[in-house]
Structure 1
């Protein structure tokens, strides 16, 4: 066999290995408000696994029903919610990221809830308090029903095993409007990573350094090619004034933030990196503008993914 053929075979083998996905994602909800049947929630598991972590929990049952109808999830909605969703990672306590968890709690099974201490405190004090909703937690207002265990993720702490799954997680604080904290979760399976950002405004508008600190943490992963994708919100098109972002991003601000990351990694490290665009406000014209503005100004040559409820994809 000639050296050229051997080299080609080795190259093809390398490309095939490099393109193998590591994570399976099933979006249960993808929008950022108004339509209560399609709010932020994403199931994530290693490819081939059926034990999922759920990133945020705005819509659960309606999304599972749609995923079952589209054959993205096997089984009945009750089986999937009770048995295949093993844990919830909650970026913040706004209802469009929390309502599905609350409404399905009466029929759910025992699970662990992960989040920053501030998020879990709001859940315990303002929702699971026997005034807004029964206390399905293991601590707080009596009587405690003992269904959900709180597991705070402290910024800067080592990664934590996500109960019932093969995933590991770390949390990073984000700024989501004046005085309010959201979170990003860095998930790992084997040697590969996914980064999920809850709602966040740009550092320049938020007068914050939290995104800059997040980019410093994940830049080595992007340079090494082990960061398989970033979930990042774009709530409004570019016409939205900075004074009315309410802790959110536009296409312009998403691209500005990723340019900060690119300065740390080198532009080539981000080429074709999947960016899963989340939390768009659900008017047709709004989403069309966001897509056009992201693609038109895609100087980093990112691969934008616009998820649809119930349609699985791999990263």
Structure 2
């Protein structure tokens, strides 16, 4: 599998793109502003979208993506995979004819350009040889992470989360994990705020990484704009034995 980081920032600004990961060329995990850097041809190859949760930095480009690809999707709709409650939020608050047209009814209700598939933890789906598991996390809104496996190689993405046991237990239930993308948004001085918002800080993530029985490469996402250097350095200091990668838009991983 090839994983391309389209966006991994906790904010915007020059060179910063919010969360989106492209798996091979046909699966998108989250749909933040990083999607906007894809060519039209690359966008058109996306067949599936996995949504971790409905915060704007993770779905900001979804309405525009559907609008941009509208004519191309009429013959082969985009399939959105997410928790059922996440899809209700997206439909009620975005595709409601006020914020944006309802692409679940266009061009006709019987043949929309986007379809929804409800997922739940512990029930994997299979997309062209790739097994995808939804993983429990702890965020301020309904949220999940994902683990993707193909031919014995696997990576996982936490989405947004703070300290919990469920995510790590779910990863440990599998035999392999080659690559882990996990968030670390807040500096330690804002730990209380981070927990309230449902995000990691270096102290909490360092503690939770000890729960993981695998030894993958660990890519850090969602660093707050302007705090990237200090938060990443603090995390490195707390986990000297782990290989940590500070992700950037455009990074490509092959497993």
Gaps of 5+ in 1: 1-22, 46-50, 65-76, 204-211
TM-score (norm 2): 0.88
Q: Which runs of 4+ in 1 moved over 6 A?
A: none
Q: Distance in 1 between matches of 2:13 and 2:136?
A: 27
Give the deviation of 1:296 after TM superposition. 1.4
TM-score (norm 1): 0.72
Matched, 1:237 2:187: yes
Post-superposition CA distance 1:253-309 (Å, at most 9, x none): 111111122xxx3xxx42xx21111111121xx11112211221214x221111211
Give the deviation of 1:190 after TM superposition. 1.8
Aligned to 1:307: 247
Q: Distance in 1 between matches of 2:19 and 2:11?
A: 9
The structure with the larger Rg is 1
SS of corresponding position for 2:172? helix
- For residue 161 of structure 1, the aligned residue among 126, 131, 141 is 126
| Residues 237 and 290 in structure 1, CA contact (< 8 A), matched pair in contact too | yes
Aligned to 1:213: 166
Q: How many residue pairs were aligned?
A: 246
Q: Distance in 1 between matches of 2:194 and 2:34?
A: 29
Q: Distance in 2 between matches of 1:28 and 1:87?
A: 16
Give the deviation of 1:217 after TM superposition. 2.4
Q: Distance in 2 between matches of 1:148 and 1:26?
A: 23
Q: 1:145 to 1:29 in 2, by over 3 A?
A: farther
Aligned to 2:198: 247
Q: Which protein has the bigger helix share? A: 1
Matched, 1:183 2:157: no
| Residues 41 and 55 in structure 1, CA contact (< 8 A), matched pair in contact too | yes
| Residues 29 and 63 in structure 1, CA contact (< 8 A), matched pair in contact too | no
Gaps of 5+ in 2: none
Post-superposition CA distance 1:171-216 (Å, at most 9, x none): 1232212xx211111111122221111111113xxxxxxxx12322
